[in-house]
Structure 1
Amino acid sequence: MAKSLLNLDEASEWSGIWWLPDDPDQPLPGVLRYSPDDGLVLSLIGAFEDRITSTPSPGLTVLHEGSRNWDVIQGIAEQQEISLLSCYPSSVQRTVGARVKSPDKQTVVAMTALVGAHVSDEDDAVFSAAEIAVEDLQFWAASSVFEGFLGAPDGKIDGTGSISVTPVQTRSVLVDGTEFRLQHQHTLPFFDQSKGGTVGRMRDTAFVRVVPAAPFSLDGAREAASLVQDLISLATHRAAGMIWLRLEVAESESVLLPGGRPKPKRRADVLYTPTALGRNNAKAVDHHRVFFTCASLPFEEVVPRWCEARDRLRAATSMILGLRYAPARYVETNLLTAVGAAEVLHRGLRIDEKPFPPANFKAMRDAMLAQVPEMHRKRFKGVIRNDPTLRDRLHALAARPDQDAIALLMPDVDRWAGRTTRARNDLAHEGKTPNHRTEELIAIVDVTAAVIILNVLHELGLPAERQREIVREHPQLRSTASAAGEWLVAPADAP
C-alpha cells in the first residue's frame, strides 16, 4: 500500500487549514489530533461561528441558547484531504473587549475523520472498496507468508536456519454482487540495530477487502467492517477489536499520468470509535479458545453462509455477541439477554411449530372466549395465542446442533429448559428469582449462550465432529458443561 496505515490504537496529528463546506473562502489554521482515549480533537486558531443567532430587525442581533453543530468540516493537512464528520464545538475563547486584540481559539470534537478524501456527508457514495483489519484475523485466516526452517543434520539443531517469505494467494468469494477477498500484505526485511544487538523483522498482515458492485458510502463501509468484526468475534468467542479501516476512492485508478501510466489508487483511512478498539501489538488469541478458522471452514464457504445467517438472525447474533463486547456485571441482565436471544433465534430460524392445528385452535379459543364477559373479550383474545412456549423453543433449539455435542454440554435438556423458563418468568413477572441460586443462574446463562452459539455454528456448516471438539476442549464450554452437570440435573428423588 502506498502509505502507512493509521491504526486506531495509535495517536496521530495533522497541522493544516480547515473550513466549512458552505464557506470555503474563510479557512482557519489548526491542528487535528487523534488518540484512542480522547478521539478526534481539532484545535483552531480562530473560530467558526457556533452561536445560534437571529436578526429580528436591521442592526439588532439576538443570541439564543445553545450552539451550532456541523455535519462536515473539511481540511488540507500533511498533503492530504481530510473530512471531519459529526462535529461539535467543545470550547471557544473569544477576545471581544480584550485590551490586546488576538485571534479567537476554538476546540472542535469530531466523531469520524476521513484522512485522504473530501466527502459531503456520511452518505456520500464515493468509495469503491473497503479494507478491514481486526484482531485475530491473522490467526483466523490460518495462512501466512512466513515459513521457518531450522538446520538439524542428523537430528541435532546446529544453529542454522532461515525464514522464507512466499506471497499467499488471495482467496475470494462473490456474495450478492459484493466480492470479499482475504489478502495478505507484508513489509520488506528490516534490521533494527541497537547497542545490545540486532533484530531482523518483517510484518505479515491479513485483512479482508470488500468490493461492492457499486460505489458505497462511509456508512456502507462501517457496515462491512461490522460484518467482518462479528464473524471473527463469533469464530474466536471474544470481542474482536477493529485495528484499521481503509477505503479506496472510486474511479481514482482510472486517471492516467503522462505517458499513459495509471495514477496510483487513492485511499482514505477512517478514524472513529469502533464497537471494540483493536490492539495491534497485543498477544494473539490462544488456539484452544477458537471455535473455527479458515482451515476448518474455508473462507469461500463461510463468508456467504455468514452473510446470509447474519442477515436472517441478526437480532439474535447481536444480542449474544453483545455479551462478548460488553459483558454485563449482573447475572439478571445476562439472563434476560441470553433467553431473549434464544427466543429471537428460534423465530429467525423459522422452525415454529403450532402447538395445536389451526382449525382446532380456533374452535378452542372461540369456546373459551364464549365464557368471558364481552367487555373483557378483546383483551383475552389477544392473550390466547397458538404459539410455542419458551420451553418449547428451548427444546427445539437444543435439537438442531449435533446431539452428541449437546449431550456433552448438558446431561438433562428438559431440566435446563424448565429451569431456564422458570427463571426468566420469575424475573420478568415478579422482579426476582427466589427459586434459583446465583450459581444456577450463571449455569443457565452460560448453557443458553452455548446452545445459541452451537446453533449459529450449525447454520454455518461447522462439522459435527468439530462441534463436539469445541464442547470437549474449549476452556469456557468445558466449564459450562461442568456447571450444567452440577446445577441443571434433576434431583435423584424427583418424580
Structure 2
Amino acid sequence: MDMTDQNLIEERGYWWLPDNPDVKLPGTLAISSKGECDLKLLGSFTKIEDLGKSTIQPVIHGVGEKNGQYTLMDCSGRSETIRISIQGGSNINSEEYLIGTVYSGCFFPKPHDVKFPKVEIKIESFEDWLNIIGFRTQYEVDPETKRPHNFSISLQEPKTFSFSLPRFTLQIVSYYRIDPSPKVKHIQSSVTWSVRINYSEDQTLDQVYADIVILRHLIALGMRRPIKILSVVLTSPRFMQKIGEHESLIPIHYYSRLISAEESEQETIHPPDMFFSFDDVQNHFSDILTRWFELYDQIEPVLSLYFSTIYNGRTASSVSFLQIAQALETFHRRIEGGQFLSDAERDEVKAALIDAIPAHFSCEEKEALEGKLTFIHEFSLRPRLRSQINAVETEYGTEVSKYIRDKKKFVANVTDTRNYLTHYDESLKSKAKQGKGLLLLKERCQFLLEMLILKELGFSLDMVSSILLKTSVYQFILQYRELNPESAEEEW
C-alpha cells in the first residue's frame, strides 16, 4: 500500500513478536479506508540467512503513539537491506508486512481463540436505508411579506429498534450531537445510526465476521448496490480499562480488507433507487432477519452471482444476463432440487448409457460423453423457469404478471439467449436477444430472481405491491412497454 494514500490510520510505534517481546522494532502501521493494512519496520524479525525471502508471522504485537495497543494477525512480509546515507554509509535491514487483520485496543496472544459477546457496526449510507427523519423544521410565514420567520428546529430522539434471533439480539441504535459555534453563528447537528449485536453466548472472531457479512448482504440487497462497513467495534468483559475509580469496557476496533473492500458510489441513496428500505419492512424485520440468516448458506452462490451484477455496473449486458440466468438455475436447484431421478436411478441409467458407447470412440470422446451424463437426472433451465414463474405468480398474482405477460415467450427467450451466449451456436443467433432487448430481458430475469428471494423471506403481497409501485427500475420496465408497445412485443 502506498503510504502517501489517504489513510484511515497511520500509526508510528514499536512492534514485536509475542514469543520474543524483548526485541522491539520501530515502524509505521497504515490502514486505508479500504481496509488495506500495511506495516513497515526499521529492522527485521527475520534471521540473517532468510533475508530477502517471504515470511509469515501469525501474530505481531505493537504499541502506537495514538491508539495504544495493537494485535496484527496473518502477517505476510518480505525483508530487504537498505543503505542509510550517513557519514561512511551504513546498511540496515527493513521489513514490510501486509496484514490480514488488525485489532486496536488490546493484545491477543492467540486471537483465533478469543471470543466476544458484543459487536457494534457502522454502515455506509445506513441512514438512507433506514429513512428515519430525526429532525423537524417549523416556521411561520408573514402574511404581508410572505417571508418565513420564527424558525425552529427540533430533534425527536429516535427510539432503539430491537430484534431477537436464536443466537443474538440485533439492535439499531442512534447517536446524535449538536455542535454550536462559540458565537452561535451556526449550529451543526447530526444523527447517525449503528447496528449492535448482543450474542447470547460468546462468539469467535470468525463467527462474528460471518454474521457481519450476512447482515451487510441483506442491507445491500435492500439498497440494490454495494455498501461498505465503516467501522467494527468489539467489546467483552474480559477486556476492561480503569479510568479513575471507574471501570469500563475497552473498545476493540477491527480492521480487515475482507470487511471494508467493497467499492461504493458514496452518494445519497433515494428510496425509489432501492429495492426495499427498513421503513418498508420494519414491522416484519425480525422474521425477515431470522429467515435471512437461516437461508443464507443455502443461497450464498446465488447471492454471489446476483451481487456481482449489482456491484459492477460496467459489466457487459451479455455477462450480466448470463450471471442472472445462472443465478436463477442455481436458486431452483438449491431451493427446489429439480431432479426427476434419484441419484441411484441416475447412476443406473448412466452406467447403461456408458456401456452403450461404441467401442471405436476415443478415450477423450468417452470422457466427454460421461461428463454430460453427470446431470442427466436434473431438469433443464426451461422447466426450472416455468416452475419459478408459477411459484411467484401463485404467491403474488397479477403483480408478477405485469412484468412477465407471455410466460412461454419469456422462457423461450431466456433459454435461447442463454444457450447462444454460452455456446455461440449460429443456429440460435436469430433467436437470441441483443442490444436493448437483451438489457430488458436481463432486467426481467433479475426481477424474477428478486421476487423469488422475497418469497423465501416471507414478504407478503401487500409488501411486494408497495415495493413494485415505488421502485424506479420496475416502473421503467412497465413504462417502456406502454411507450413502445410494438417493439415491446418483439423484445419481450
Normalised by the size of structure 1, how large is the TM-score? 0.80
Give CA deviations for 1:291-322 in whole Å, capped at 9, x if unaligned. 22232212323211221232332221222122
Alpha-carbon distance, 1:453 to partner: 0.9
Task: Provide the residue aligned with 1:149 in structure 2.
Answer: 137
Tell me the amino acid that sits aligned with residue 451 of structure 1.
L
Tell me the amino acid that sits aligned with residue 87 of structure 1.
C
Q: Distance in 2 between matches of 1:235 and 1:29?
A: 45
Does the residue aligned with 2:338 lie in a helix, a strand or coil?
A: coil
Which of 267, 270, 275 is matched with 1:291 structurally?
275
Task: Provide the residue aligned with 2:429 in structure 1.
Answer: 434
- 1:413 and 2:407 equivalent? yes
Task: Provide the residue aligned with 1:244 in structure 2.
Answer: 231
Instruction: Check conservation: 2:105, 2:252, Cα contact below 8 A.
Output: yes
Which residues of 2 match residues 56-455 of structure 1 at below 5 A?
66-77=53-64, 78-89=66-77, 92-95=80-83, 99-101=88-90, 103-120=92-109, 123-144=112-133, 146-152=134-140, 158-187=148-177, 189-192=178-181, 198-252=185-239, 261=246, 263-273=247-257, 274-277=260-263, 282-298=266-282, 299-327=285-313, 329-350=315-336, 352=338, 354=340, 372=356, 379=370, 382=373, 385-401=376-392, 402-430=396-424, 434-435=429-430, 436=432, 437-455=434-452
Q: Distance in 2 between matches of 1:469 and 1:400?
A: 20
Alpha-carbon distance, 1:11 to partner: 2.5
Does the residue aligned with 1:302 lie in a helix, a strand or coil?
A: helix
For structure 2, list consecutive stretches of 5 or more residues without a partner in the other structure. 360-365
Q: Distance in 2 between matches of 1:374 and 1:409?
A: 48
Tell me the amino acid that sits aligned with residue 419 of structure 1.
N
Q: Distance in 1 between matches of 2:22 and 2:375?
A: 67
Alpha-carbon distance, 1:100 to partner: 3.8
Q: Distance in 2 between matches of 1:367 and 1:41?
A: 56
Does the residue aligned with 2:387 lie in a helix, a strand or coil?
A: helix
Q: Distance in 1 between matches of 2:375 and 2:191?
A: 60
Instruction: Check conservation: 1:133, 1:207, Cα contact below 8 A.
Output: yes
1:367–1:269: structure 2 CA closer, same or farther, 3 Å change rule? closer
1:177–1:349: structure 2 CA closer, same or farther, 3 Å change rule? same
Tell me the amino acid that sits aligned with residue 227 of structure 2.
A
Does the residue aligned with 1:16 lie in a helix, a strand or coil?
A: strand
Tell me the amino acid that sits aligned with residue 462 of structure 2.
E
- 1:40 and 2:27 equivalent? no
Does the residue aligned with 2:21 lie in a helix, a strand or coil?
A: strand
Does the residue aligned with 2:206 lie in a helix, a strand or coil?
A: helix
Alpha-carbon distance, 1:14 to partner: 1.7
Instruction: Check conservation: 2:271, 2:277, Cα contact below 8 A.
Output: no
Alpha-carbon distance, 1:452 to partner: 0.5
Task: Provide the residue aligned with 1:5 in structure 2.
Answer: none
Instruction: Check conservation: 2:34, 2:262, Cα contact below 8 A.
Output: no
Does the residue aligned with 1:167 lie in a helix, a strand or coil?
A: coil
Alpha-carbon distance, 1:487 to partner: 6.6
Task: Provide the residue aligned with 2:363 in structure 1.
Answer: none
Alpha-carbon distance, 1:49 to partner: 1.4
1:292–1:330: structure 2 CA closer, same or farther, 3 Å change rule? closer
1:100–1:488: structure 2 CA closer, same or farther, 3 Å change rule? same
Alpha-carbon distance, 1:240 to partner: 1.6
Does the residue aligned with 1:456 lie in a helix, a strand or coil?
A: helix
1:347–1:385: structure 2 CA closer, same or farther, 3 Å change rule? same
Give CA deviations for 1:271-310 in whole Å, capped at 9, x if unaligned. 222241568xx44211111222232212323211221232
Tell me the amino acid that sits aligned with residue 336 of structure 2.
R
Q: Distance in 1 between matches of 2:478 and 2:130?
A: 29
Alpha-carbon distance, 1:159 to partner: 2.0
- 300-309 or 478-487: bigger deviation: 478-487
Instruction: Check conservation: 1:369, 1:380, Cα contact below 8 A.
Output: no
Aligned residues: percent identity?
18
Instruction: Check conservation: 1:243, 1:277, Cα contact below 8 A.
Output: no
1:479–1:278: structure 2 CA closer, same or farther, 3 Å change rule? closer
Task: Provide the residue aligned with 1:30 in structure 2.
Answer: 27
Does the residue aligned with 2:149 lie in a helix, a strand or coil?
A: coil
1:94–1:152: structure 2 CA closer, same or farther, 3 Å change rule? same
Does the residue aligned with 1:212 lie in a helix, a strand or coil?
A: strand
Instruction: Check conservation: 1:245, 1:270, Cα contact below 8 A.
Output: yes
Tell me the amino acid that sits aligned with residue 249 of structure 1.
S
Give CA deviations for 1:338-386 in whole Å, capped at 9, x if unaligned. 11110111122226374x8x8xx99x96999599458679949936834
Report the aligned-residue RMSD.
Answer: 3.8
Does the residue aligned with 2:272 lie in a helix, a strand or coil?
A: helix
For structure 1, list consecutive stretches of 5 or more residues without a partner in the other structure. 1-7, 54-62
